[in-house]
A and B are shown apart, each in its own frame.
Chain A
Amino acid sequence: MDCDKCGKPAKVHLTQLVGGKVKKVVLCNECAAETGVTDPTGFALADLLLGGGGEHGVATAIPRPPGQGRACPECGFTLDDLKRIRRFGCGACYEAFRDQVKDMIRGMHKGASHCGKVPDGLMEMRQRKLRLGELQERLDQAVTAENYEEAAGLRDEIRQIEESMANSETPS
């Protein structure tokens, strides 16, 4: 068999069976060494348990500046970046590219919606944050309208929520 990189006789074989299909990478000793694999069997053994190497290739930093196309408002990751590297820039990208996500995960998983674990307190935290934003907005309006009595009440409520969030963030 010939090396996938240079065509010389290959010595290093990494094979995986994914979804009933066999995927193979074969390299000659030189190319294996070049990719940092000094003794492929040692690495391969580790990959076998850790699921590295063949699964993901080398996950280095994504080169900036970002590509063209619609961008995630939080991190600037673009639709082009997504198409190129099939990875996401941040959590908010999933919201920004929700339609593309649907296409991407079709056939990738058993289902399209999560039915596993939900982090404790996360939903609560999220609701508090939403509520906080809401109150802040009303406070700004009250201040602009010089409605100081309402503003004072709103400030109290905001302080209360902030305190309870700070408390729940520090583990006992």
Chain B
Amino acid sequence: MMRFSTLLKHPADWMTGKGADNAVVLTSRIRLARNLAGVPFPGWARKEQRQQVLEELRPTIEGLSCMRDGFSKTLDSLSSVQKQVMVERHLISREHAARGEGSAAIIERRQEVAVMLNEEDHLRMQAIRPGLDLSSAYEMLDAFDNEVAEAVEYAFDPELGYLTTCPTNLGTGLRASAMLHLPALVISDQIGQVLQAVGKIGLAVRGIFGEGTESLGNLFQISNQSTLGESEATILRRLERVIAQVAKHERNAREKLLEDDPDMVCDKVGRAYGVLRHAWIIESKEALNHLSLIRLGGDLGFFPEESVLMCDELLMEIQPAHLQIQNGKKLGAEERDGIRAEIIRSRLQTLEAPDIHTIKKQEGDDDSPDLGIA
């Protein structure tokens, strides 16, 4: 079995966008919720019952071929910092990290498939792929789910589908989502319109908003809300189509920004570069917002292409639990801000200042997708 230190040392390819176009859509994620028949759901089960579920499911999941050489730990055997690192790596949920005895996390060695036992449901499985690729993430998890279903009996109702603790997950138990980086839509003030349009189709959009409408790091998540009454294929198709449209809007906005106001873009990216190169103390909020602009700059050709990958790695490394585990001790907020700045400075050392003069205007693509936005 994989050790925690190995898990930490090797970030998954999907986390760093290796091998995919992830300039706008960073990751695609599929989650399935499942429960065992005849046992109360985790929130209502007695301790012995939760333990019993764990003892039935854990060896079953660990025994599946794809889990060979994977990571498997009960949550009470992990420290709180280790658990938080896993939250920051998107391998377990924050809710799951709050659990101890009777819960476990099992992660496939490439970290593409991760399973939480006794989270809100007995079984929460996820598959993550870099870029916009919901269908292959679903295929992977669907096959995994079939293997599990051969070994255990799921709580299933012909009318209501897979039965879940919360009725919001009934039916398919499927939550599909993508994480998007939308700096140009934010800068050009179109983000509100786009997100409203997405919301109207019945999809959920989440962002981490500070003052005003700028989301932290210009990152947004789009996911399905409805899980019952439509097939998995229908849910995925709609979501994938809408996400592709939003990504296209972002691409168009990036091109338009460069065309209409290149000075402004250069100024923003240049300032972000300056701050990150020379800051000595930096909060994660400020760091994320500047890294977002470096990431944009990388995509627009201000920096070498690899800088997008570097930003994604930094996005992960500068999170609080990652900083603490790297330093081997608990850190106060001020200490963290200092270490964070140091890490960013050292990574940016090899990154040359934005090459403004070689930026070429790209021809705009007029084939604008229809999200009902004027």
Seen from chain A, the residues whose Cβ lies within 8 Å of a Cβ on chain B are 13-21, 24, 36, 38-39, 41-54, 56, 58-62, 74-75, 77, 86-91, 94-95, 101, 104-105, 108-123, 125, 168-171
- One of B163, B171, B202, B315 near A88 (C-beta < 8 A): B163
Q: Within 8 Å CB of B151, what residues of A? A: 169-171
- One of B167, B216, B229, B232 near A113 (C-beta < 8 A): B229
The answer to whether the Cβ of B131 comes within 8 Å of any Cβ in the partner chain is no
Whether the Cβ atoms of A113 and B160 lie closer than 8 Å is: yes
Whether the Cβ atoms of B160 and A94 lie closer than 8 Å is: yes
Contact with A along B210-237 (1 / 0, CB 8 A): 1100001101110101111111100000
Contact with A along B145-184 (1 / 0, CB 8 A): 1110111011111111111111110111011010100000
Cα separation A148 to B95 with both chains bound (whole Å): 57
Chain B, residue nearest A26 (CB)? B209
Most buried by A among B145, B153, B288: B153
Contact with A along B194-205 (1 / 0, CB 8 A): 011011101011
Whether the Cβ atoms of B208 and A13 lie closer than 8 Å is: yes
Whether the Cβ atoms of B204 and A116 lie closer than 8 Å is: no
Q: How many residues of B contact A (CB 8 A)?
A: 89
Contact with A along B323-366 (1 / 0, CB 8 A): 00000000001001000000000000000000000000000000
Q: Within 8 Å CB of B221, what residues of A? A: 48-49, 51
- One of A16, A115, A170 near B230 (C-beta < 8 A): A115
Cα separation A123 to B171 with both chains bound (whole Å): 16
Whether the Cβ atoms of B149 and A45 lie closer than 8 Å is: no
Q: Within 8 Å CB of A94, what residues of B? A: 157, 160, 163
The answer to whether the Cβ of B249 comes within 8 Å of any Cβ in the partner chain is no
Q: Within 8 Å CB of B146, what residues of A? A: 120
Whether the Cβ atoms of B230 and A52 lie closer than 8 Å is: no
The answer to whether the Cβ of B39 comes within 8 Å of any Cβ in the partner chain is yes
Cα separation A16 to B199 with both chains bound (whole Å): 10
Q: A41-B216, A110-B226 are in contact. List 6 more A-B contacts (CB 8 A).
A: A48-B219, A50-B90, A117-B172, A117-B231, A120-B146, A122-B154
The answer to whether the Cβ of B41 comes within 8 Å of any Cβ in the partner chain is yes
Whether the Cβ atoms of A110 and B205 lie closer than 8 Å is: no
Whole-angstrom distance between the Cβ of A133 and the nearest chain B Cβ: 14
Whether the Cβ atoms of B120 and A13 lie closer than 8 Å is: no
Whole-angstrom distance between the Cβ of A112 and the nearest chain B Cβ: 6
Whether the Cβ atoms of B159 and A114 lie closer than 8 Å is: yes
Q: Known: A20-B200, A49-B29, A171-B151. Contact between A89 and B228, CB under 8 A? A: no
Whether the Cβ atoms of B199 and A18 lie closer than 8 Å is: yes
Whole-angstrom distance between the Cβ of B90 and the nearest chain A Cβ: 5
Q: Known: A15-B208, A110-B230. Contact between A87 and B284, CB under 8 A? A: no
Whether the Cβ atoms of A39 and B284 lie closer than 8 Å is: yes
List which B1-41 residues lie within 8 A (CB) of chain A. 27, 29, 31, 35, 37-41
Most buried by A among B179, B196, B221, B232: B221
* Selected A-B contacts with CB under 8 Å, 27 pairs: A13-B210, A15-B209, A19-B202, A20-B196, A45-B216, A45-B288, A47-B94, A49-B221, A51-B223, A52-B95, A60-B43, A61-B44, A75-B40, A87-B44, A87-B165, A87-B166, A89-B41, A90-B44, A91-B155, A91-B157, A101-B160, A109-B171, A114-B162, A114-B228, A117-B172, A120-B150, A121-B150
